[in-house]
Amino acid sequence: MIFLGLGSNIGEKTENIRAAIKSLANSGVEILRCSSLYITPPWGILSQDEFINMVCEVGFSGTAEELLKLVLKTEEDMGRYRYYKWGPRLIDIDILEFKREVYDLEHLKIPHPYYPERPFVMVPLRDLEPDWKPTGQDRTISQILENFSLEGIEKLPEDYKPIF
């Protein structure tokens, strides 16, 4: 399985996520299914607008490094600028898992090293795979979430969900 986490907290957040999914699909990434959209509080730097987050399961015939190139190109084409870590973002796309493969390169870390610690990723991922055990973990998504406060996370109505 390949999971991508998507988030936005600048401008038309839901539209930014829709545009990113469309761009990925037009670049050869098969969008298999997506979670609901969630309003989530900011992470890291708290003095910024709330995020909209979701997770998609995708199919991709290339390598993880090729997928990373597509993800970074999508972000760049949409106008993403990396001013500082954990700052506001027009679009953020993270490769969470890639076929249970493990990468520990300077430019590519899979599984994403922090996603099991982040409710804004785990809650949408639970929509898709509540019994999934993240690579390297011994508990399922649902079990991991039992230890989190989910305060401030709000599911948007299904009519906000991107159509692909």
Q: What per-residue confidence (pLDDT) applies to 45?
A: 73
Q: What per-residue confidence (pLDDT) applies to 81?
A: 67
Q: What per-residue confidence (pLDDT) applies to 3?
A: 98
pLDDT digits (tens, 9 = 90+) for 99-144: 999 999 999 999 998 888 899 999 999 999 999 999 999 999 999 9
User: Phi, psi at residue 35, to the nearest 5°?
Assistant: -70, 175
Yes or no: say if 58 and 70 are a contact pair by the CB < 8 Å rule. Answer: no
Q: Which among 111, 94, 98 is positioned nearest to 53, based on CA atoms?
A: 94
Q: What per-residue confidence (pLDDT) applies to 114?
A: 87
How does DSSP assign 114-152, residue by residue? Answer: TGGG-HHHHHHHHHH-TT---TT-SS-HHHHHTTS--TT
pLDDT digits (tens, 9 = 90+) for 4-60: 999 999 999 999 999 999 999 999 999 999 999 999 998 777 667 899 999 999 999
In this model, does residue 84 exceed pLDDT 60? no
Domains of the chain (ranges, CATH numbers): 2-158 (3.30.70.560)
Q: What per-residue confidence (pLDDT) applies to 17?
A: 96
Q: What per-residue confidence (pLDDT) applies to 98?
A: 98
